[in-house]
Structure 1
Amino acid sequence: MSVWLPSAPCTPRTCVETKGSVTAVPLAVLRLMTVLVVLLAGIALCPFGRRIPAGWVRIWVRVIVRAAGVRVRTTGATAPAGGLLLVANHISWLDIPLLAAVRPARMLAKAEIRQWPVAGVLTASSGALFIERDRLRALPQTVAKIADALRAGTAVVAFPEGSTWCGKAQGPFHRAVFQAALDAGVPVQPVHIHYRLAGGGASTAPAFVGEDSLLASVWRVVSARGLVAEVGVREAIAPGSHPDRRALARAAQPPPLGAHQPQLVTPPGTVRPAAGRSPAGHLGRTCWS
């Protein structure tokens, strides 16, 4: 089996919530239609590519998440400029716009996504780097391609677990993608994503696992009431601070479940009075509501 093709034990039947606080069907349908409209607007703008300001991209992805009825709480450090490997645990399709709001980046995606309706077109148009996960021989070429993008000053998003987990369990970070950061000499920015219900504990409603369909996962999200996404941005790991990809992957691994307590910050581009600034690298808290 390819190192790009690990699997998770999570399945929709055993891990995903099917009951709970649910919105009225008309509101869920309205949310779904709004998400589709916003996505289609993004597809229409794809020909303009990288000429679109990064700030506009952040606004767009925030609108997608908010249109789905999800509030977002972002905490932690600010992502640096320049070449950057952005890594996170993987639970849901929602993870992608959440990370784009941290910093717009090229996504490392499995080749099958090209065939997805709407999302496939959007992903390909965004400049994603596609992986043929069942071809071990393609691994060195893929790592080299990622390293070239990083050297060019691009941020690249990767999910080193290699598979989605339900959120109440998580997998180890696999090492291959970290070699690209070592080869390019760029920092690694770890991000921890967690979903919960407002006033409650962890929620697996957004999970997109096993043989789950994208439509079923999207419907659970838009029909959930009080869903909150917590995005913890940890301090960037400086290039050269770890001797090999094994040590680098271990350093970027998310904290144990229940230990997600990063510092508070505002998103990149937010300006606050000097008197209110926290220590270097941190700004206060932000909530998308």
Structure 2
Amino acid sequence: MSPVVRHVRAPGTGALFVSRVLVRHFVLPVLLTVVWSAAGFAYSCPPDRIDETVQVAYVNDGDTVALADGRKLRIVGINTPELGFTGASPEAFATEARDALWALLASRREIGLRFDQQQKDRYGRVLAHVFLENGVSLTAQLLEQGYGSALTVLPNLWNAECYRAAEREARTRQRGIWVLPAYQHTDAAAVDLDASGYKILQGRVSRWVVRGGATYLYLDGKVVLRIHGDDAGYFDPRIFQRGSGYCQGRKIEVRGWLHRYKDHLYMRIRHPAALTILE
């Protein structure tokens, strides 16, 4: 017998409430490697353990849900377009991402959480990797369908490689957000000083500077990448060796949030997942 599912849209927020009559229990499969390719998915990114099972009350957006116990859960490993709760217009594909997450949860009462190093963010939201009862990652499914981009935020690095692989699948096949102009790479030399927010940039490293405990990579144009000393241990040490020329003149792709300071645009790079050497 299947659960009876209803959903109601919350006024003013666009959140989708989930109501069910029957409860399905979360069971971690004996075989964690789930073959999902038959349904068109190449990556399941299964868990090594489940720390907690929880019930979902409603879906806020493509990467955030409210739990039945009152907590809010931010799904680790993905960043989906913003719905614009503060009165701003939704970003392209934001509604589709929210609806896709709801569709994945609609017939399920419980989900499994796998915690990482940091279990709450600065807003008090629970941070966790989320899995369906068959062991398939919600993050991986959404990424592979192109509903968001892979997001690596220190210190939560578990499963990051698998999430990036799922994103590459969507990007290669031009699914979802990857057909949108906002998610195509921009030439760093052409970025306007008024640009801000999340960007994917490509450019050549024209200058390399160490100052105040941080390493700065200057790209052609006005973009400067900053790697703090606290994060240096995650990167190839050749990036930080004086005179090595490892990055000098090389074309790279970076992703992150731009902000302007005086006459430059800065992007903090905290993990190698955000910096790819292209040539």
TM norm. shorter chain > 0.5: no
Task: Tell me the TM-score range normalised by the shorter chain.
Answer: under 0.3
Q: Compare the two structures and name the one with the higher strand fraction.
A: 2
Q: If you compute each CA radius of gyration, which structure gives the higher value, 1 or 2?
A: 2
Q: Compare the two structures and name the one with the higher helix fraction.
A: 1
Report the TM-score, using the length of structure 2 for normalisation: 0.25
